Amino acid sequence: MNRAGEGTSSIRTATRRTPSTRARGARALVAGVAALAALAALTGCTSAAAAPGRPTVVIGAKQFTEQWIIGELYKQALTDAGYDVELKSNIGSTNIIDGALTSGQIDLYPEYTGVILQVLAEAKSVPTNAADTFNEAKKFQETRGLTLLKPTPFQNRNAVAVKPAFAKEHGLKTISDLKKAGHVVFGEYPDNLEGALGYHDMVKSYGLNDTELKTLNIGLQYTALDHGQVDAADVFTTDPQLAKGGYKILEDTKGYYGFQNVAPVVHRDVLKEQGPGFAKVLNRVDALLTDQAVREMNRAVDTVRLAPSEVADRFLRANHVT
Amino acid sequence: MSGGPVIPDFGNPSSCVANDGTFCADWFTAHWSNLFWPALAQHIELTLIAVVIGFAISLAAAVLAHFKGRLAAPVSAVSSFLYTVPPLALFQLLVPVTGFSVLTVEVALVAYSLYLMFTTILTGLREVPEESVRAARGMGLTRRQILFKVELPLALPAVVSGLRVATVMTIGTVAIAAYVIDEGLGSLILKALQSPFNTQFLGAGVLAVALALTADALLVIGGRLLAPWAHTRRAA
């Protein structure tokens, strides 16, 4: 606050200048800024008008690489097929994005079949194969006015990873072997503490009594393992950082982490509104998503550092979808 | 579809990118047009909308409170309460009502800017010397004329200082808006945290700081052009 020249001197100078010119200047400034703002507001609201009879479809995606890519794949394939779509990427945790879907803020999003049962349906136990997991997840979503389209060939499962040296030192092969390692610091992402896939439930069902929790954002577990800040961590099996090697996956002998294929969760009304071609486009994209394809696209974004939109575009072109 | 999908060759990163160097200038420039510039433009737009609307509301409220002293306390109380709510909490409260939308973000940003601008503008109006107002009244000016020709011009330095603080704060808060909408420099920062990458993190962070400094400097210059008398250098 530089208010030098306050008091008497400011009155003197103020009376030397005609006040009206200053007021005009101030008004011009305000008008100018207001015009700018109006312009900004106009450019900000350029959501294209939907084709007649077919409202815009809003696709959601969660907050990690694989979801950004799948979101882009859906968006580009549907846009190319003549549908009017919008993508809202980076939407919080499973419960948040599910809330966004049920409240109609988004119309569809890609979800993992096991997660639907474990986190949303809060199932006590999960099926022992991928097909049953998908069918039960679909049944659950249909009780809520939603449905699942066909699942992807690929799965992205949670797993517990440790450094090979740590595994050798304590002779670890399975998750329950962690009991042999004494005090274990376990890295878990903040979204996965509670619930059927969560840290607390996992240590309970494997009887790991001497673990210490360290919450880490998705994607930071590997550096934490490398630097010895955690001894074990919850990781995703399609993560390119995992594929780079240098980590050992401990066997999930109880099938605790279930089956995790991806399927679009969509409002049934939206499918009706958009017509039969809509699901066909998504099914065609999902059929292409094999383990290898997804891992390579994740690598392109996470390691080569290409934009998810660019990676999706190249993949769809290579497969003649767009 | 025999033999699975065709997987394009996505190539390999430069060694700097592969090793996650502190700042890979080659990557930054390669992604300026499709990543950094759009995010910067969105950031400016979100800031501008919030500051302009917040300023209009604050100015009107401050003038009203200046005329009717009784209004000052309640407006101040409400705006200071809004100012104390943590941004993430406010976003959380608004999302069920207005969704993951620009509207949610703008409502929160405007709510934050009110307190700073309302108090500085009102203080500026109240600090206008009594004798200049009396002189104006003696010259036969109406209440409205006094406001526009005497009080607001003399309060200009205070108004500008309020705008400066609010603008810089808004630029910072827009970065947090990335939790609600996938826009602005905050979105790049958030994604660089979720998929660790220094160049994107640093690049977006430095751009946000540079934007705040630039906006502040522009407002200082604008303020001097509008109210040169307030900045006349005097011999010490």
B129 interfaces chain A, CB cutoff of 8 Å: yes
Above 90 in pLDDT, residue A227?
Answer: yes
pLDDT tens per residue across span B135-155: 999 999 999 999 999 999 999
What residues 160-219 of chain B have any CB closer than 8 A to a CB of chain A? 161, 178-179, 181-182, 187, 190-191, 193-197, 199-200
- Pick the residue of B14, B53, B97, B100 with the most A CBs within 10 A to test the interface with A by mutation: B100
Whether residue A307 and residue B178 make contact (CB cut-off 8 A), yes or no, is no
The rounded distance, in Å, linking the Cα atoms of B176 and A272 is 37
A22 closest CB neighbour out of B49, B153, B193: B153
Collect all residues of chain B within an 8 Å Cβ-Cβ radius of residue A29.
222, 226
Poorest-pLDDT segment among A47-51, A63-67, B213-217: A47-51
Question: Residue B2 pLDDT more than 60?
Answer: no
**Cα–Cα distance, B118 to A67 (Å, whole number):** 43
Could you tell me the pLDDT band of residue A37, with boundaries at 50, 70 and 90?
very low
Contacts of B226 in chain A (CB under 8 A): 22, 25-26, 29
Q: What percent of chain A has pLDDT over 90?
A: 66
Q: Which of B66, B96, B61, B63 minimizes the C-alpha distance to B79?
A: B61
In chain B, where the domains are located = 40-226
pLDDT bracket for residue B232 (50, 70, 90): low
Is A103–B56 a contact, with Cβ atoms under 8 angstroms apart? no
Q: Reply yes or no on whether the pLDDT at A30 is more than 70.
A: no
Strands of the sheet containing A108-112, edge to edge, are A85-88, A57-60, A108-112, A262-267, A146-148
pLDDT in tens, A144-185: 999 999 999 999 999 999 999 999 999 999 999 999 999 999
Cβ-Cβ contacts under 8 Å, A289 against chain B: 5
- A251: closest CA of chain B, how far (Å): 26
Predicted TM-score of the model (pTM): 0.79
Beta bridge partners of A85: A57
| Average pLDDT score, chain A | 85
Q: What is the CATH number of domain B40-226?
A: 1.10.3720.10
A10, A88, A218 ranked by CB distance to B100: nearest = A88
Total residue length of chain B: 236
Cα-Cα-Cα-Cα torsion A263, A265, A269, A272, nearest 10 degrees, comes to: -10
Q: Kindly list the residues from chain B whose CB atom is less than 8 angstroms away from the CB atom of residue A36.
A: 48, 52
Under the banding of pLDDT at 50, 70 and 90, the label for residue A45 is very low
B212 falls in which pLDDT band (50, 70, 90)? very high
State residue B233's pLDDT score: 54
If one compares A15 and A213, the residue with the highest pLDDT of the two is A213
- Band the pLDDT of A52: cuts 50, 70, 90: low
Q: What is the pLDDT of residue A53?
A: 65
B1: nearest CA in chain A? Answer: A288
Higher pLDDT, A75 or B180: A75
Helix (H) or strand (E) holding A201: helix A199-205
A3 contacts B10? CB cut-off 8 A:
no
Q: In what order do the strands lie in the sheet with A232-236?
A: A211-215, A184-188, A232-236, A158-162, A248-250
Burial category of A145 from C-beta neighbours within 10 Å (exposed 0-12, middle 13-18, buried 19 and up): exposed
